[in-house]
Amino acid sequence: MTVAPERIETRLDEAIEAATKRLLELQHPGGWWVGELESNATMIAQHLFWHHVLGLRTRELDRKIANELLARQRDDGTWSIWFEGPPDLSTSIEAYAALKLAGDDPGEKARDFIRSEGGVPKTRIFTKCFLALLGQWPWQRITPIPVELILMPPGSPFSIYDFSCWARGTFVPLSVCRALQPVRGAELDLQEIGARPGRSRRPYLSRMKRVAIREAERWVREHQEADGSWGGIQPPWVWSILMLVALGHGFEDETLRRAVGGWEGFTIDEGDRLRPEAC
């Protein structure tokens, strides 16, 4: 069976018209287009974590984050890295912790999965670092991240410039946090999934480490973008914010103000749900 050429042409015209109409509907009043860069539950959970550290949490934020995480929770109680992917331990633990922080119960299925996979001790380093910030894991049990590497010149056998752009931008502030071991405790108990409460302590800092921390702070400040970000992506952005807070800076600090203010442009608020974009 063949389709008459005029019928094909009509259907093509209809498709073009429908596509054009939809594009015009999506156009911003300023004349440009922007689409959501979807991410997984870790970005949503971390949004609540760092807002807690900065003292920016509100009941409304808790509710919106909890609603978003619950909407993404799978029938088996877990969370995955990608849509319809397999359950992921670190993602599930971060979502679980954020829900408990917001005052919600993640459910027995989530607990059972996390425990069956080994719990917090088996998670990735990023997950452990966020839990350490919340007082749910000892910094001392996290792999050392040598802040002194910032002192190695680009031409040396190994330096931060051997890393990719985003990894370098994340490593520098994260290494400062690992050295300073900040804890912003929360009313949170995750021992049922293998967490081990960490305590706030003043770590010993050698002279070289103190010099490296000052250099890392200078480097982070110099690499901030005009929109307040670092590379326009979440990991270096959030860890640079957390580094500045760990160093004792507050909102009187222009770098910190621009960073937090700029992040608002990377969040999607749907009224009862909120989620950030990764970049």
Q: Per the structure block, which two tokens stand in for 273?
A: 């749900």
CATH number, domain containing residue 146: 1.50.10.20
Report yes or no on 181 lying in a domain.
yes
pLDDT band at 277 (very low <50, low <70, confident <90, very high): very high
Report yes or no on 262 lying in a domain.
yes
Report yes or no on 212 lying in a domain.
yes
Report yes or no on 105 lying in a domain.
yes
Q: Say what the pLDDT of residue 95 is.
A: 98
Encode pLDDT of 186-216 as tens digits: 789 999 999 998 877 788 999 999 999 999 9
Encode pLDDT of 215-260 as tens digits: 999 999 999 999 999 999 999 999 999 999 999 999 999 999 999 9
Q: Say what the pLDDT of residue 4 is.
A: 62
Work out the angle at residue 86's Cα, subtended by the Cα atoms of residues 83 and 88, and round it to the nearest 5 degrees.
100
Q: Tell me the mean pLDDT in the region 177-185.
A: 95
Q: Tell me the mean pLDDT in the region 134-139.
A: 96
Does the pLDDT of residue 6 top 80, yes or no? no
Q: Tell me the mean pLDDT in the region 105-130.
A: 98
Q: Say what the pLDDT of residue 201 is.
A: 78
The stretches of the chain forming alpha helices (DSSP H) are 5-26, 41-53, 59-72, 89-101, 108-116, 125-133, 165-180, 207-222, 234-246, 254-263
Does the pLDDT of residue 69 top 70, yes or no? yes
CB of 247 closer than 8 Å to CB of 172:
no
Encode pLDDT of 100-114 as tens digits: 999 999 999 999 999
Report yes or no on 202 lying in a domain.
yes
Q: Regarding beta strands 267-269 and 274-276, do their DSSP bridges make them parallel or antiparallel, or are they unpaired?
A: antiparallel
The percent of residues above 70 in pLDDT, for the chain, comes to 97
Domain of 268 in residue numbering reads as 39-276
Q: Tell me the mean pLDDT in the region 41-50.
A: 98
Report yes or no on 25 lying in a domain.
no
Residues 6+ apart with CB under 8 A from 271: none
Does the pLDDT of residue 8 top 90, yes or no? no
Q: What is the spatial distance between Cα 178 and Cα 140, in angstroms, rounded to a whole number?
A: 9
The percent of residues above 90 in pLDDT, for the chain, comes to 85
- Residue bearing tokens 């690992």: 178
Q: Coil, helix or strand for 274?
A: strand
Radius of gyration of the chain (CA): 22
Q: What is the spatial distance between Cα 46 and Cα 101, in angstroms, rounded to a whole number?
A: 11
What's the structural domain count of the chain? 1
Report yes or no on 55 lying in a domain.
yes
Does the pLDDT of residue 1 top 60, yes or no? no
Does the pLDDT of residue 134 top 70, yes or no? yes
Report yes or no on 4 lying in a domain.
no
Nearest to residue 234, comparing CAs of 264, 186, 270, 278?
A: 278
Q: Say what the pLDDT of residue 9 is.
A: 75
